[in-house]
Amino acid sequence: MIPVNKDNRSGHNLENYFDRAELEHFFECLNDDDNDPQANVFFRLAAFSGMRKSEMLCLQWSDINFSKNTVTVSKTQSRGDNARLLVQSPKTARSNRTVYLDPKTCHILQQWKLEQRTQLLQYGFNVNQGHNLIFANENNEMCQPSKPRKWLEHTLSKYDLKHVTVHAFRHTYATLAFEAGASIKSVQDQLGHSSYKTTLDIYTAVTDKEKNEATEKLASYLNF
């Protein structure tokens, strides 16, 4: 078996993302759906922060600084013996980082915090601790890693949308950030890429696409 070059994974998966119009349409469908309300919050955070699924599923409210619009990423979800879910430190130093959020995403999180608090009170859970999970199952425990995939596949199938994976939202963040003019360094820091090349592969793919569009637009304009 040929070993996987983890630093070049992004180069092999360049179509696994939403463009701007596709992402906007996805959220329109998601908001119209009868899915778990956590799904809307999860994919908003994923698309607008670039965080890994394993990082998001063990996030606690105490990890968010609403006054600074930031998230402290210092842990990741993993599996231990007997398939038991664990929370561990990130495998690389760069994965320990501060993630920046836009004001609207922070507002959506704050709304979910209030809604979740009401739900937890109804089920008799303690809601006065800042260490409550942002995303949790009906027992107020960590969701299984397969849960976001189920949310996603439900919406993609119901509305006949482009098939992507949960990881696509991380790639979508990077791709659209570059299209918006963000620097390679800022995207690398936000995503916690251990290798500069991983970020550069995505950047190169975006700039190549822009070059192709420029050529097509010029030929159409000249029309001779």
Query: Which segment of 38-42, 82-86, 188-192 scores lowest on mean pLDDT?
Result: 82-86
The model carries a pTM of: 0.86
Residue 212 lies in a domain: yes
Read off the pLDDT of each residue in 139-159 and give the average, rounded to a whole number.
95
Over 80: is that where the pLDDT of 76 sits?
yes
Mean pLDDT of the chain: 88
Q: Is the pLDDT of residue 1 over 70?
A: no
Residue 9: pLDDT band with limits 50, 70, 90? very low
* Domain membership flag for residue 147: yes
Question: What are the tens digits of pLDDT across the range 117-146?
Answer: 998 888 888 777 668 999 999 899 999 999
What's 211's domain CATH number?
1.10.443.10
In a domain, 166, yes or no: yes
Q: Count of domains in the chain? A: 1
- Range 143-164 average pLDDT: 96
Quick one: pLDDT at residue 127? 76
In a domain? residue 10: no
Domain-embedded: residue 146: yes
- Print the domain residue range for 122: 17-219
Q: Is residue 196 part of a domain?
A: yes
188 belongs to a structural domain: yes
**What 3 state SS string does the chain have?**
CCCCCHHHCHHHCCCCCCCHHHHHHHHHHHHHCCCCHHHHHHHHHHHHHCCCHHHHCCCEHHHEECCCCEEEECCEEEECHHHCEEEECCCCHHHCEEEECCHHHHHHHHHHHHHHHHHHHHCCCCCCCCCCECCECCCCCECCCCHHHHHHHHHHHHCCCCCCCCCHHHHHHHHHHHHCCCCHHHHHHHHCCCCHHHHHHHHHHHHHHHHHHHHHHHHHHHCC
